[in-house]
Amino acid sequence: MGRVTVRRPVRKLTADGRRRRADLLAAEEPLELRVGGKALAVTMRTPGHDVELAHGFLLSEGVIASRHEVFAARYCDGVDDQGRNTYNVLDLTLAEGVAPPETGVERNFYTTSSCGVCGKAALDAVKLKTRFAPGESSFAVTPEVLAGLPDKLREQQRVFASTGGLHAAGLFRADGSLLAVREDVGRHNAVDKVLGWALLEGRVPLSGCGLLVSGRASFELVQKAAMAGVPFLAAVSAPSSLAVELAEENGMTLVGFLRGSSMNLYTGDQRVVEPAAV
């Protein structure tokens, strides 16, 4: 399996002078996703939880809605210069009767770790309709619970603690407990991994959970949350204008700049309530 971290020599410059030392970097490797042997996408990701990533990707693209719609997932083909499997090609076989991805889902065979939408083959295919209805969820949390979430997420970011170079996504309950946390060099990959975990655990639709992300809230992350039925998205950093519009359209709550007791409620502020109302 690919390494999660890589050690590299660096020359460190400080006010006290220069010195050579080893630095720990977050690993970034390509993962080619195939469905039924046909290439669907290549994404740059941190190795690990690849099967979750693939399931989350197919869920957020509207290809599947449950774990039973994938018959099998297996690594194949990719080898290094010594003939060893790189575990960088993953082929998923859909269950009988499940329609393969439409042409619009195909990516231009490459997506960066920072952007999962810009490679769409057709712009009309960007906005997807969820099979679930996030707006119907009664999920609600208190400001106090929200205030404590970033620290809880950071405590579980083990690779970030070593490298400082990974994004994280976590699913949380109304009481602030974290169900699962995943890290990746790409924001969208971290979300796909944690949504894939939920799908494989039979927890989708996630109407009783919120999604917390360590960076900004983009259009794509809101869409991924909506496709899994998540009613509440909280981000440590800023949302984009399209993210706010899409969250409002889906009846979702979108919180940005979540830093301690300070936060901005952009949409769905009825889900942020006083303790007695939870």
Residue 267: name the closest of 126, 134, 131 by CA.
134
Report pLDDT for 108. Answer: 43
| Mean pLDDT calculated for residue range 162-177 | 90
The answer to whether 31 and 42 are in contact (CB under 8 A) is: yes
CB 278 within 8 A of CB 140: yes
Q: What is the pLDDT of residue 104?
A: 58
pTM above 0.85, yes or no: yes
Cα torsion 245, 131, 173, 271: sign: positive
Neighbours of 245 (CB within 10 A): 16
* Under 8 Å between Cβ of 184 and 194: no
Residue 111 pLDDT more than 60? Answer: no
Beta carbons within 8 Å of 16's beta carbon, 6+ residues apart = none
- Dihedral over alpha carbons 52, 228, 146, 162 (to 10 degrees): 20
pLDDT of residue 37: 93
Q: Is 209 a catalytic site residue?
A: no
Confidence of residue 23 (pLDDT cuts 50, 70, 90): confident
Confidence of residue 126 (pLDDT cuts 50, 70, 90): low
Tell me the two tokens of residue 266: 């952009």
In the set 76, 115, 118, 209, the catalytic residue is 115
The least confident of 28-32, 200-204, 255-259 is: 28-32
Give residue-wise pLDDT tens across range 50-99.
Answer: 999 999 999 999 999 999 999 999 998 766 777 777 889 999 999 999 99
Residue 2 carries which side chain, given as an amino acid letter?
G
